[in-house]
């Protein structure tokens, strides 16, 4: 399969040249920004988005907080699993980087000598985006948007074919969705156990917050409530 997309008449290659051609016409500083964003910025932004969602879920609290946090934990785990699944796929397809077989590409980052299909960056970001969508729709849509932008950047930088990116999107989505039921079955009881911990429970929901359930009463009010219950029983 090393000859995948070798033909110059292939729409995959045409789209590669069209998108990468934007880099030739862009200012040098813009290319440097795209290089940083595509290689480091968007993956870091995805991690910050997951942390922001966790903070929001934690502050909101409520009885569904452990399940929500468990779903958030699955997002980076899904990305890790998808990355591992991609290892044998890359070795089987053995697709060279586009700049190694096609001339005239404006490659914005050097040192990419491994195989091209499928894109690790597209796989990781989409797995996290879809995993985040399972936990929280609004944050998840933002995460999927970041993943789509990441895929565009990889083509713009000249280091991946469009089908590398699409394959990464498909792999990340499949892992995040298909393994989600099993992951939730394992992670939700763990999150509930952490929630019951006097100290570690703050990782699940803020104690004393509006939605913290059993922790919403202050100690004095708890004592007063207990006294009222005893009076009623008498």
Query: Would you list the DSSP string of the chain?
Result: -TTTT-STT-HHHHHHHHHHHHHHHS-HHHHHHHHHIIIIIHHHHHHHHHHHHHHHHHHH--TTHHHHHHHHHHHHHHHHHHHHHHHHHHHHH-PPPHHHH-SS----S----S--SSPHHHHHHHHHHHHHHHH-HHHHHHHHHHHHHHHHHHHHTTSS-HHHHHHHHHHHHHHHHHTHHHHHHHHHHHHHHHHHSTTGGGGTS-TTSTT-GGG-S-HHHHHHHHHHHHHHH-
CB contact at 8 A, 119 and 165: yes
- The confidence score (pLDDT) of residue 164 equals 95
Q: Which residue has the higher pLDDT, 157 or 221?
A: 157
Model confidence band, residue 72 (pLDDT cutoffs 50, 70, 90): very high
Model confidence band, residue 211 (pLDDT cutoffs 50, 70, 90): very low
Model confidence band, residue 234 (pLDDT cutoffs 50, 70, 90): very low
pTM above 0.85, yes or no: no
Model confidence band, residue 203 (pLDDT cutoffs 50, 70, 90): confident
Round the average pLDDT of the chain to a whole number and report it. Answer: 84
Q: Topology of 11-206 in CATH?
A: Vanadium-containing Chloroperoxidase; domain 1 (1.20.144)
- State yes or no: pLDDT of 225 exceeds 60: no
CB contact at 8 A, 105 and 158: yes
The rounded radius of gyration (Å) of the Cα atoms in the chain is: 23
CB contact at 8 A, 204 and 64: no
Q: Stretch 77-92: mean pLDDT, rounded?
A: 94
Q: Stretch 19-26: mean pLDDT, rounded?
A: 88
Q: Which two tokens stand for residue 28?
A: 């040098």
- State yes or no: pLDDT of 228 exceeds 50: no
Please give the span between the terminal C-alpha atoms of the chain, in angstroms, as a whole number. Answer: 82
**pLDDT tens digits along 133-189:** 988 899 999 999 999 999 999 999 999 999 999 999 999 999 999 999 999 999 999
Q: Stretch 11-31: mean pLDDT, rounded?
A: 89
- The confidence score (pLDDT) of residue 107 equals 86
């Amino acid at each position: 399969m090393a000859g995948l997309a070798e033909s110059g008449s292939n729409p995959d290659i045409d789209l590669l040249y069209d998108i990468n051609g934007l880099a030739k016409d862009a200012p040098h500083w813009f290319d440097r920004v795209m290089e940083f964003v595509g290689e480091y910025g968007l993956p870091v932004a995805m991690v910050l988005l997951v942390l922001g969602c966790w903070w929001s879920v934690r502050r909101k609290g409520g009885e569904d907080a452990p399940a929500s946090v468990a779903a958030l934990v699955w997002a980076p785990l899904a990305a890790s699993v998808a990355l591992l699944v991609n290892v044998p796929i890359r070795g089987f397809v053995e697709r060279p980087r586009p700049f190694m077989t096609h001339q005239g590409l404006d490659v914005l980052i050097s040192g990419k000598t491994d195989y091209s299909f499928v894109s690790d960056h597209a796989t990781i970001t989409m797995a996290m985006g879809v995993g985040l969508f399972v936990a929280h729709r609004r944050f998840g849509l933002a995460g999927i948007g970041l993943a789509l932008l990441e895929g565009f950047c990889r083509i713009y930088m000249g280091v991946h074919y469009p089908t590398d990116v699409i394959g990464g999107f498909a792999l990340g989505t499949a892992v995040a969705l298909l393994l989600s039921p099993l992951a939730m079955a394992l992670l939700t009881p763990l999150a509930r156990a952490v929630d019951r911990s006097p100290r570690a429970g703050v990782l699940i929901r803020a104690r004393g917050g509006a939605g913290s359930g059993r922790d919403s009463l202050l100690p004095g009010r708890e004592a007063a409530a207990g006294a009222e219950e005893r009076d009623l029983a008498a």
